[in-house]
């Protein structure tokens, strides 16, 4: 019997990083992921999104990064047979403990949930101002509602999503377990890119 902290999920390796509460639109057309989608909808369970460490999204099973984010399907449509349009919402982060690859190259894993970030103090003002400006320009509908601009974890995750940075940097930000440290890293990156003072 598994410890309560472990759970079995399907893993969807992608060339993107999903953050808690973030929204991820997906087009699902490979048979293995159609089967995964049907199982998740039928059983009302999440799947795991992990950044690809080695391999590609299509074809044989890619090697995922060991830390990912649960994804729950919140909208779905099947415009034609063999194609799902999904919108998934990020949930808790997890660490892969044991991975299995089925004959159809669908990856599943026993994962351990990562506790929410350690509490942080005040939100870094430059990060908050930048996110406020982006929300105002892009529209609040593109972000999880309601906005929590006083929550360091929420602000950090939203900035990490929109940051023009390599996926490896976003993966590092996902793996940090201290919201204050994530914001400090984000501010350093934003200053280096000339997006914050």
Domain regions of the chain by residue span: 6-113, 125-192
pTM (2 decimals)?
0.90
pLDDT (average), residues 100-117: 93
Does the fold of domain 125-192 match that of domain 6-113? no
The answer regarding whether domain 125-192 maps to CATH 3.30.505.10 reads: no
pLDDT digits (tens, 9 = 90+) for 159-170: 999 888 899 999
Q: Please check the confidence at residue 49 and state whether its pLDDT lies above 50.
A: yes
User: What does the pLDDT look like over 74-105, one tens digit per residue?
Assistant: 999 999 988 999 999 999 999 999 999 999 99
Q: What is the CATH number of domain 6-113?
A: 2.30.130.40
**Contacts of the segment 101-107: beta carbons below 8 A, 24+ positions apart:** 101/61, 102/32, 104/31, 104/32, 104/35, 105/32, 105/59, 105/60, 105/61, 106/10, 106/32, 106/33, 106/35, 106/36, 106/61, 107/10, 107/11, 107/12, 107/13, 107/61, 107/62, 107/64
């Amino acid at each position: 019997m598994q410890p309560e902290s472990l759970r079995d999920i399907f893993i969807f390796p992608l060339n993107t990083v999903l953050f808690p509460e973030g929204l991820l639109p997906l087009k699902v057309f490979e048979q293995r992921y159609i089967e995964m989608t049907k199982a998740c909808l039928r059983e009302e369970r999440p799947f795991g999104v992990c950044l690809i460490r080695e391999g590609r999204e299509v074809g044989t099973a890619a090697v995922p990064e060991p830390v990912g984010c649960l994804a729950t399907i919140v909208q779905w449509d099947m415009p034609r047979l063999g194609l799902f349009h999904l919108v998934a919402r990020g949930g808790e982060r997890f660490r892969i403990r044991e991975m299995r690859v089925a004959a159809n190259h669908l990856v599943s894993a026993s994962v351990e949930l990562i506790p929410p970030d350690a509490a942080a103090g005040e939100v870094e003002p430059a990060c908050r101002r930048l996110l406020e400006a982006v929300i105002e320009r892009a529209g609040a509908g593109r972000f999880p509602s309601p906005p929590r601009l006083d929550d360091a974890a929420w602000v950090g995750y939203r900035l990490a999503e929109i940051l023009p940075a390599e996926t490896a940097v976003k993966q590092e930000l996902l793996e940090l377990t201290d919201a204050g440290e994530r914001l400090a890293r984000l501010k350093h990156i934003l200053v280096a890119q000339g997006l914050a003072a």
